[in-house]
Structure 1
Amino acid sequence: MSPAPTAAAPGEPGDPLPSARPAASPLVHTVTLVEQQAKACAELGSPLYAALLDQVALDLAAGGPCAAALAGHEADPAGAAVALRLLGGVHALVLTGRVPELALHYPSAGGRFDPARPAAAWPAFRAAVADNLPWVRDWLTRPPQTNEVGRANLLVAGLLHVLAGRARPVRLFELGSSAGLNLLADHFRCEAPGFAYGPAGSPVVLTDAWQGTPPTAAPPLEFAERRGCDPAPIDPRSAEGALALRAYLWPDQPARAARLEGALRLAARIPAPVEAEGAADFLRGVRVADGALTVVWHSVMRQYVPAAEWAAVEAELERLAEQSTAAAPFAHLAFEPRRDGGMVRFVLTVRAGREPERVLAEAAPHGLPARLLPAAGEPGR
C-alpha cells in the first residue's frame, strides 16, 4: 500500500479522520458510519472486515442482532468508532475460542478468508453477536486502542532528523500511549532496500519501511527515560491487556499481528510506564533537562482529544519549546492525519525548539510504507 491520500472515512484510531456530518436520524447515522468504515477497511487492506461490515450495515437497517448490540449507541459520534468496537468484541470472542465456527474464517485464529466468497463468514458472525450480546455490548464501551507499532517508523525518522547524526540521550514522553508499545521504539528495527536501522535480531521488524530515499542512519538511539500517558492505559503484560490489543487488530493482516507479538515480548522485559492521565496534565509535569534531548511525540491521537484540552496541550508544548536551549533541547514529533481538501494525509511533523514546524514525511495510516517529502530533505542530515 502506498502512502497516498485516503478518502475521508472513520477508522480505527490512526485511520482516516471521522466525518462530523450529521445524518437524518440516529439509525441512518450509524448505518452510514458502518458503511464508511467498510470502505476504509477495504482501502486499508482488510477485505474480511470490509465484507463483514457491509453485512452489518444491512443487519442494522433490518433490526437484526447487530442492531440489538448497538442499541443505545446509535447517536454516538463518528470518533467513537462503534463499528470497530463491535468488530473488536467479536474478534475477542474468536481469539478466546468461544465461537469456533467463526474462527474458521479468521486467519488470526488459524482460519481462512476466501476472497471468492468474501461474505462467507457473515452467518457465523451474526450468530456470534446474537449468542453473546452481553459480551459484545461490554466491548462497545471500550475505545479501540492499538497505537499501531508500525507508526514508530515515522517517529524514529523524526528523531533521527532532530539528532542530525549526533549521539545524545533522549528523554521520551508520549501522549496517548495506550499500552506504551511505541515507547520501546529504540528496540525496533526498520528495514527498506538499502536501509536498516535499529538492533539486529529485534522481535519487531518494520519491513518495507520506506519508499524511495530512506532516512539517513545515525548512531543507536539511547533512551535515558521513557514515559507515556493515556486516559485508559492498557497493561500489555496482562492477559486481558494483550487480548484487547490483539482483538483490535484486523484478523486478516498477519504482518500487523507479528509486529504486535514482537512488541509484547519486548514489553514483558522493558519497563515503559504509562500514567492514567490526560495529555495536558501529563505535560505540566515535563521539563527540559541539561545534557539530554527532551522529546514529546504522539501518533494519531489528536483527533480524539477534546478541543479545550488540546489547546492546553499546545500551551504546554509552547512552554517546552520556549525552555529549549542548546544544552537542554526540546522537540515535538507527531504522526497525525491532516485534511487535504476531501482527502486525508498522514504526515510526520517535527518542531525542534523554537524553530517552525516542518512536515518531513507521509505514510500509510499504519505507518508502513513511508516516504520523505521532497521539500523536507532527509532526516538525519
Structure 2
Amino acid sequence: MAMKAMTDGREALAHQAELCRSTGSTFVAKVLEAVGRHLPLAPISSRMIQGWTGDLFAAAVALRINGALHALARRGKPQSLADLYSGEHDDFDGAIAEALSQEDQFIADWLRHPTQTNEVARGAAIMSALMTVAAERPMPFQLLELGSSCGLNLNLARYAYRLGSVSAGDPASAVCIAPHWRGADPPAGEVSIAAARGVDLSPLSASDPTHRERLLAFTWVDQPARLERLEAALRVAVAHPPEVHQGEAKLWLERRLAEPQPEGVCRAVVHTMFLQYLTDRDRHEIAAMLATAGARATAERPLVEIGLEWTSDRREVQLRCTRWPTGESTVLATCHPYGDWMEWHGPQPAQSVRPSTDAAMVSEVEVTESGAADTVRLPSSSRGSEAYQRTPVTTV
C-alpha cells in the first residue's frame, strides 16, 4: 500500500529526523528537529514549504534544508552554526534559529533545487546486479543512467568493490565501496562496460568548485566516510569526466531506446533513488516505454532495467532487476538508502535468476549521447580482483 503523501512541513521534518536517527545520523536528526521548532523564523522558506505542491517527503524537502544548513556551516555563516557543525558546542536550537533568521533567502534558494547526493556507495547495488546479469549471459553493457547528477556512478567501473566475499572493479582505485553484506554472495559475473551515458535536469560537473561544494553539502556531516568517498569519486570524475546530458529523463530515454543497439551488447537502464521525484504519469510513461523497447529485445540484443528505489509504502529500499526479452522481474536485494548495507536475496554463484511475482519496476535513466569513455572489463572473484583490463571503447 502506498504511503500517504506528506503536505505538512513539520510532519515531513519530523519524519525525516526519525529516519536519520534510525540510521545512526543523530546530528542530522537534531538539526531537522530544531528546524521544525524554529521554521517560522525563516518566513520565505516557511511559506515555500507550506505552499509546496506534492509530497514533501518524496521531494526530500527536509534534506534540501539540511543541505542548505550544511552549506552555510561550511561557509562559516553564521559562526554559531559553523561551531555547531565542528563540535564546538551543542546548542542546536540557538544555532539553527540564528541561521534561519539570518539566511532565510539562501535557504529558500536551496529549496528550489532537488537534492544532489550522487551517492557512489549505491554503485555497489548496480554493480552486483550487472554481475548477476553477466553471470548468466556475458556480454558488454551499454549503461543509460536516469538522474545522473554529477555522473559519479557512470564511473562505477573505476571503483573497487567488496560484495560479501566477492571482489570486483579496480583494486587500485581510491574509491573503495564495501557495504555491510548480509546473505549469500552475488554471482561473480565479469562486467564489461562498452559505454556509459546519463541525463539529469540539472547536471553538475566535478570540475566546477561550486558544483562540488553543493554535492559535499548534501552529504550528511555526521557521516565522514561518505564525505571522504565522495571527494575521492570527484577526483576520479575530474580525471575521467562522465558524459551527462541536461534534459528530461523521459524524453532523453525515448531517444536512446530508439537508437540502434549493436548485436552482442546488453542495454542497461539504471537509476538510484530517482523515481520518487517523478509524477505518476511520468513513471507510467517510462514503464510503457521500457515495455515497448523490451518487446523488441532479443537474446542477442537484450534490455535490462536496474533500479535501487523505495517501495511504494517507503518501508524499504529494493534493488530490482527486470530483464527482456523475457520481462522477468527479480528483487535482488534490500538495501540501506545510501548503500551502507545490502541484504542479498538474488541468485547465488552458479544459480540462474528467478523472477519475482512483483510487477516490473519503472526506471528513469539519464544517459549521455556519445558514450565516449574507456571500455572497462571488471573481473570478479572471491579471491579478489587480480586483473583489471581497459580496452578502447566502441561508441554505441
Q: TM-score normalized by structure 1?
A: 0.84
Q: CA-to-partner distance for each residue in 1:304-324, whole Å, 9 max, x for gaps?
A: 111222222112211221222
Q: What amino acid is the match of 1:91?
A: H
Q: In structure 2, how many angstroms separate the alpha carbons of the residues matched to 1:84 and 1:206?
A: 23
Partner residue in 2 for 1:85: 64
Q: Deviations over 1:219-266 (max 9, x none)?
A: 3x3222111111221222211111111111111011211221121011
- For 1:54, the aligned partner's letter is E
Specify every segment of 5 or more residues in structure 1 that has no aligned partner in the other structure, as ranges.
1-7, 9-16, 23-28
| Cα pair 1:362 1:370 within 8 Å, conserved | yes
Q: Please, which of 273, 281, 297 is the counterpart of residue 243 of structure 2?
A: 273
The alpha-carbon distance between structure 1 residues 316 and 360, as it changes in their structure 2 partners (threshold 3 A), is: same
Q: Specify the SS of the correspondent of 1:73.
A: helix
1:213 aligns with 2:173: no
Query: Which residue is 2:87 aligned to?
Result: 112
Alignment-derived partner of residue 14 in structure 1: none
- Residue type of the alignment partner of 1:338: T
Divergent runs of 4+, >6 A: none
Instruction: Please say if residues 298 and 333 of structure 1, whose CA atoms lie closer than 8 Å, have aligned partners that are also in contact.
Output: yes
Change in Cα spacing, 1:338 to 1:379, as seen in structure 2 (3 Å) is farther
Q: How does 1:334-373 map to 2 (within 5 A)?
A: 334-339=307-312, 344-355=315-326, 356-373=328-345
SS in 2 for 1:70: helix
User: Is the CA contact (8 Å cut-off) linking 1:85 and 1:139 kept in structure 2?
Assistant: yes
Alignment of 1:207-356 (within 5 A): 207-219=178-190, 221-286=191-256, 287=259, 288-339=261-312, 344-355=315-326, 356=328
For the 8 Å contact 2:197–2:242, the answer to whether it is kept is: yes
**For 2:227 and 2:99, how far apart are their aligned partners in 1?**
23
Larger mean Cα displacement after TM superposition, 81-90 or 247-256 = 81-90
**TM-score w.r.t. structure 2 length?**
0.81
Is the aligned partner of 1:144 residue 2:115?
A: yes
Q: Which residue number in structure 2 is paired with residue 103 of structure 1?
A: 82
Who is 2:5 aligned against? Answer: 20
* Residue deviations 1:53-82 (CA, integer Å, cap 9, x gap): 22221213xx3x244532232131313332
Tell me the distance in 1 between the aligned counterparts of 2:304 and 2:136.
15
Query: How far did residue 18 of structure 1 move?
Result: 6.8
Partner amino acid, structure 2, of 1:20:
A
Equivalent pairs counted in the alignment come to 344
- How many Å apart are 1:130 and its aligned residue? 1.9
Mapped partners of 1:337, 1:237: distance in 2: 31
Amino acid in structure 2 at the alignment position of 1:35:
A
Alignment counterpart, residue 143 of structure 2, candidates 172, 180, 183: 172
Cα deviation for residue 168 of structure 1 reads: 2.5
**2:50 paired with 1:74:** yes
Counterparts of 2:218 and 2:295, CA distance in 1 = 39
- Which of 99, 103, 114 matches 1:128? 99
Aligned residue for 2:91, secondary structure, equals coil
Distance 2:156 2:104 in 1: 38
SS of match in other structure, 1:179: coil
The amino acid that maps onto 1:364 is: H
Compute the displacement of 1:94 (Å). 1.6
Distance (Å, rounded) in 1 between the aligned partners of 2:87 and 2:334? 33
Q: Distance in 2 between matches of 1:285 and 1:149?
A: 26
Alignment correspondent of 2:125: 154
Q: Any gaps of 5 or more consecutive residues in structure 2?
A: 352-396
SS in 1 for 2:49: coil
Task: Report the 3-state secondary structure (helix = DSSP H, G, I; strand = E; otherwise coil) of the residue aligned with 2:50.
Answer: coil
Aligned to 1:52: 31
Q: State the SS of the aligned residue for 1:154.
A: helix
CA distance in 2 between counterparts of 1:181 and 1:135 reads: 27
Q: Which amino acid aligns with 2:175?
A: V
In structure 1, what residue type is equivalent to 2:96?
Answer: F
CA contact (8 A) 1:218 1:380 kept: no
> Please, which moves more after superposition, 349-358 or 205-214?
205-214
Shift of 1:21: 5.0
Match of 1:31 in 2: 10
Could you tell me the percent identity over the aligned residues? 29
| TM-fit CA distance, 1:177 | 1.1
Q: Matches of 1:97 and 1:262 in 2, distance apart? A: 24
Name 2:358's counterpart in structure 1.
none
